[in-house]
């Protein structure tokens, strides 16, 4: 008795999905002045790699990264240090990143991968979870949320909303971290 290996859909393999994300990132206009040493697409793919590899922080990612693997797997030419990544990506408007998600989601729809996740009448069940991933009373940026305390101090923070497509009869799920 042999193992049944599912048919691989070329446009849904990891390489194709990463390439589609990179293609979107290459189309985003670079807002930085002058001639930056690291392309914006490399900074974006580095951030994508950091999140997909679930690095706990930019600094941890910077310390543990193996450029050879990041270049081979994610197609990154040069990986920026944590400071350079912040300076490159912080001013970037989130609207530019939406099409990367849309391209991936449409690929999953076209490949009929999402059909098994339909719950009722062609609708999906989306589980949401929020978390705070940064807080400081001193360090902040223009995008920080502000919590004003009764004692007059301010706490600056960033928060994240995670989403996952789930199905009550399945153990697997699809998430956008």
pTM comes to: 0.70
* % of the chain surpassing 70 pLDDT: 90
Distance from C-alpha of 67 to C-alpha of 46, rounded to nearest angstrom: 10
Query: Are the C-beta atoms of 49 and 74 separated by less than 8 Å?
Result: yes
Query: Are the C-beta atoms of 142 and 127 separated by less than 8 Å?
Result: no
pLDDT at 39: 94
Q: Range with the lowest mean pLDDT among 7-21, 80-94, 158-172?
A: 7-21
DSSP 85-133: HHHHHTTS-THHHHHHHHHHHHHHHHTT-GGGGEEETTEEEEEEEEEEE
15 pLDDT band (50/70/90 cuts)? confident
Q: Taking Cα atoms as reference points, which of 94, 108, 96 lies closest to residue 17? A: 108
Q: Is 90 exposed, middle or buried (0-12, 13-18, 19+ CB in 10 A)?
A: exposed
pLDDT at 52: 85
1 pLDDT band (50/70/90 cuts)? very low
173 pLDDT band (50/70/90 cuts)? low
With 60 as the cut, is the pLDDT of residue 129 above it? yes
For residue 81, report the phi and psi dihedrals to the nearest 5 degrees: -70, 170
Residue bearing tokens 């849904």: 12
């Amino acid at each position: 008795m042999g193992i049944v290996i599912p048919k691989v859909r070329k446009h849904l393999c990891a390489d194709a999905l990463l390439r589609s994300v990179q293609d979107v990132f290459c189309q985003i206009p670079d807002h930085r002045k002058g001639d930056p040493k690291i392309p914006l697409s490399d900074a974006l793919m580095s951030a994508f790699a950091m999140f997909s590899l679930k690095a706990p922080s930019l600094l941890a990612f910077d310390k543990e990264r193996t450029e050879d693997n990041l270049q081979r797997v994610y197609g990154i030419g040069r990986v920026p240090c944590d400071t350079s990544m912040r300076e490159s990506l912080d001013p970037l408007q989130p609207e530019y990143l939406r099409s990367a998600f849309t391209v991936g989601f449409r690929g999953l729809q076209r490949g009929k991968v999402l059909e098994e996740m339909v719950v009722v009448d062609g609708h999906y069940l989306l589980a949401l979870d929020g978390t705070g991933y940064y807080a400081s009373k001193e360090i902040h940026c223009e995008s920080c949320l502000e919590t004003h305390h009764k004692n007059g101090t301010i706490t600056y923070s960033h928060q994240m909303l995670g989403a996952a497509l789930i199905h009550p009869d399945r153990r697997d799920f699809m998430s956008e971290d």
